[in-house]
Amino acid sequence: MLITHDTRCALDTVVDLVNTAPEDDTTDGLASIAALNDFVRAHQVSDVGTLSELDLSAVRRIRGRFASIFAAPDARASAVLINELVAAAGTTPRLTDHDGYDWHVHYFAPGASIADHLAADCGMALAFFVVAGEQERLRRCEAPDCRRAFVDLSRNRSRRYCDSRTCGNRLHVAAYRARRKEAAG
């Protein structure tokens, strides 16, 4: 499937958003407005104005909704969740070629809050995976104790683990040990 620059950005944003949620109730990556500001800067989310506590709680709420899309068992379940998310945000599709990028569509409405901005643009990016029959590429890491969200862009959709250093290393080591054991056995 064709993944444009903007879709790629939206995917990176939504994956990072979902992964700010604590897996073990220890540290929330979005615990403060300062953290939300850092997130906005890192992902170049434009036109969101000055962020407030309301923005913070709204973003945390949609983060939970995005998390359930990554955990959805099939395309139909994803579609229901994405429809709800995008409908609540409201969208104003418009063509833009800002910052030297080719023509592409922005979905967030002018003046949208950051939560609505993310819900509209990231929600639509995920919607196109469902349209393309690629919903199963939206995954959660299968490593024990991890479950981070990721998008599998491998040719044969074979990725099972996220690219965090911990998972990558741990699984390489496990595979290596298994091979050694087999060779020795």
Among 6, 12, 16, 134, interactor with Zn ion by CB under 5 A: 6
Listed ranges 27-35, 50-58, 87-95, 167-175: which one lies at the site for Zn ion (CB under 5 A): 167-175
Among 11, 30, 141, 151, interactor with Zn ion by CB under 5 A: 141
Least distance (Å) between residue 53 CB and Zn ion: 28
Among 56, 85, 143, 151, interactor with Zn ion by CB under 5 A: 143
> Hey, what are 67's tokens?
């998390």
Determine if 136 is a binding residue for Zn ion (CB under 5 A): no
Determine if 17 is a binding residue for Zn ion (CB under 5 A): no
Determine if 56 is a binding residue for Zn ion (CB under 5 A): no
Looking at residues 72 to 101 of the shown chain, list those that interact with Zn ion (rule: CB under 5 A): none
Least distance (Å) between residue 167 CB and Zn ion: 3
Least distance (Å) between residue 128 CB and Zn ion: 15
Q: Please spell the DSSP secondary structure of the chain, one letter per residue.
A: ----HHHHHHHHHHHHHHTTS-SSSS--TT-SHHHHHHHHHHTT--S--S--HHHHHHHHHHHHHHHHHHT-SSHHHHHHHHHHHHHHH----EEE-GGGPPSEEE-SPTT--HHHHHHHHHHHHHHHHHHTT-GGGEEE--STTT--EEE--STTS---S---HHHHHHHHHHHHHHHHHHHH-
Minimum CB distance to Zn ion smaller for 15 or for 162: 162
Least distance (Å) between residue 32 CB and Zn ion: 25
Determine if 148 is a binding residue for Zn ion (CB under 5 A): yes
